[in-house]
């Protein structure tokens, strides 16, 4: 099969990454596959790239995916990256493809969904409204309010020790500019970012946060982003409290939502326990693969 690979460029440069793309077409010019490479540019992740290769089911096992992946890896190497990550659903064609191409499994993820029609919303509301001595909850939509921007940026280190197993993920350097840019990017694409945060009442600093991205029309499934508690504030049930409040707020503000989606590393026992307690039901597993360019 004759395959033509055409490099493309993403005109939108993100606050912490930029993206390249390739289109694969056959001899008649029909698209048969595509690939994307996200090059992380934020402090602490300049070594990292993330690949996504897709081939039309009818065109698989004809060398299309291999050609696309070759272009992705060559570019990542030319950009000075040491690590390329890629994800595949467990048991999918991509799962076997990445393993054959020298990627190694570094992380297992469980995807889960909370059906709002089936959720025990009374129990979730009781959990959200339960008081926690020394803490109070606050909430905002979109960009963090200016008076909380600095402490919110500081609280992002709660994710630094998130279980990532053998993934060479690096550490994300967050500052006010970055948290504002991330929220603005979500708004530009038409979605709504809602954030619940736990505030330490002794000094007004944020001890933890939970983020949820809701579709612009308020329908379908919303997607949980980060939920984290600073190490010095763990052990008080803040993670469960914030996530329950996030669910309560989502239901109150967006009654046409059908469900909430989340994904959690299998090794992240505390967050998996929170999801189970709130009624999230696993839907499928995915595997994070990694290619170490310095050894290839």
CATH number at residue 98: 3.40.630.30
Give the pLDDT band (50/70/90) at residue 94. very high
Whether residues 39 and 64 fall in one domain = yes
The band of 170, judged by pLDDT with boundaries at 50, 70 and 90, is confident
| HEC secondary structure over 31-93 | EEEEEEEEEECCCCCCCEEEEEEEECHHHCCCCHHHHHHHHHHHHHHHCCCCEEEEEEECCCH
Total domains in the chain come to 2
> Within this chain, do residues 121 and 243 fall inside the same structural domain, yes or no?
yes
Q: Are residues 96 and 119 in the same domain?
A: no
Does one domain contain both 29 and 164?
Answer: no
Quote the distance between the C-alpha of residue 100 and its chain's center: 26
pTM of the complete model beyond 0.75: yes
Asked if the model's pLDDT at residue 70 lies above 90, the reply is yes
CA distance 77 to 262: 32
Alpha-carbon distance 37 to 34, whole Å? Answer: 10
Say whether both 95 and 139 belong to one domain: no
Closest CA to 84 of 43, 37, 139, 144: 37
Tell whether 256 and 276 lie within a shared domain. yes
- 173 pLDDT exceeds 90? no
Residues 98 and 120 in one domain: no
- 104 and 117: one domain? no
* 241 and 123 belong to one structural domain: yes
Instruction: Identify any residues that bridge with 290 across adjacent strands, giving them in sequence order.
Output: 85, 104
- Does 12 have pLDDT greater than 80? no
Do residues 10 and 21 lie in contact, with contact meaning Cβ atoms separated by under 8 Å? Answer: yes
pLDDT bin (cut points 50, 70, 90) of residue 2 is: confident
Averaged over 263-281, what is the pLDDT?
96
With 80 as the cut, is the pLDDT of residue 282 above it? yes
Could you tell me if 88 and 203 lie in one domain?
A: no
**CA–CA separation, 19 and 21 (whole Å):** 7
| pLDDT tens readout for residues 36-53 | 999 999 888 999 999 999
Beta strands in the chain (DSSP E): 4-9, 17-25, 31-40, 48-55, 83-89, 104-115, 135-141, 192-200, 205-214, 220-229, 257-265, 281-292
Which residues are CB-neighbours of 216 under 8 A, at least 6 positions away? Answer: 190, 191, 192
Do 162 and 193 belong to one domain? yes
Domain co-membership, 186 together with 252: yes
Residue 56 is part of which domain span?
Answer: 4-108+288-295
């Amino acid at each position: 099969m004759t395959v033509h690979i055409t490099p493309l460029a993403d005109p939108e440069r993100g606050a912490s990454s930029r993206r390249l793309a390739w289109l694969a077409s056959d001899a008649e010019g029909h698209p048969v596959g595509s690939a994307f490479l996200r090059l992380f540019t934020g402090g602490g992740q300049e070594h990292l790239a993330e690949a996504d290769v897709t081939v039309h089911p009818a065109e698989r096992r004809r060398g299309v995916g291999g050609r696309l992946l070759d272009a992705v890896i060559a570019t990542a190497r030319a950009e000075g990256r040491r690590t390329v990550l890629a994800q595949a659903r467990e048991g999918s064609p991509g799962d076997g493809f990445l393993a054959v191409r020298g990627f190694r499994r570094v992380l297992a993820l469980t995807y889960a969904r909370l059906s709002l029609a089936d959720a025990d919303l009374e129990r979730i509301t009781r959990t959200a409204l339960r008081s926690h001595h020394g803490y109070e909850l606050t909430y905002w939509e979109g960009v963090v309010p200016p008076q909380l921007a600095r402490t919110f940026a500081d609280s992002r280190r709660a994710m630094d020790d998130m279980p990532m197993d053998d993934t060479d993920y690096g550490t994300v350097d967050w500052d006010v500019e970055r948290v504002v840019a991330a929220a603005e990017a979500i708004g530009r694409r038409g979605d709504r970012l809602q954030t619940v945060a736990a505030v330490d009442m002794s000094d007004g600093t944020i001890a933890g946060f939970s983020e949820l991205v809701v579709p612009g029309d308020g329908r379908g499934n919303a997607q949980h982003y980060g939920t984290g508690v600073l190490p010095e504030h763990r052990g008080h049930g803040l993670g469960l409290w914030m996530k329950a409040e996030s669910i309560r707020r989502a239901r109150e503000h967006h009654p046409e939502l059908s469900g909430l989606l989340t994904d959690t590393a299998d090794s992240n026992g505390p967050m998996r326990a929170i999801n189970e307690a709130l009624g999230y039901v696993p839907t499928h597993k995915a595997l994070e693969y990694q290619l170490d360019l310095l050894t290839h």
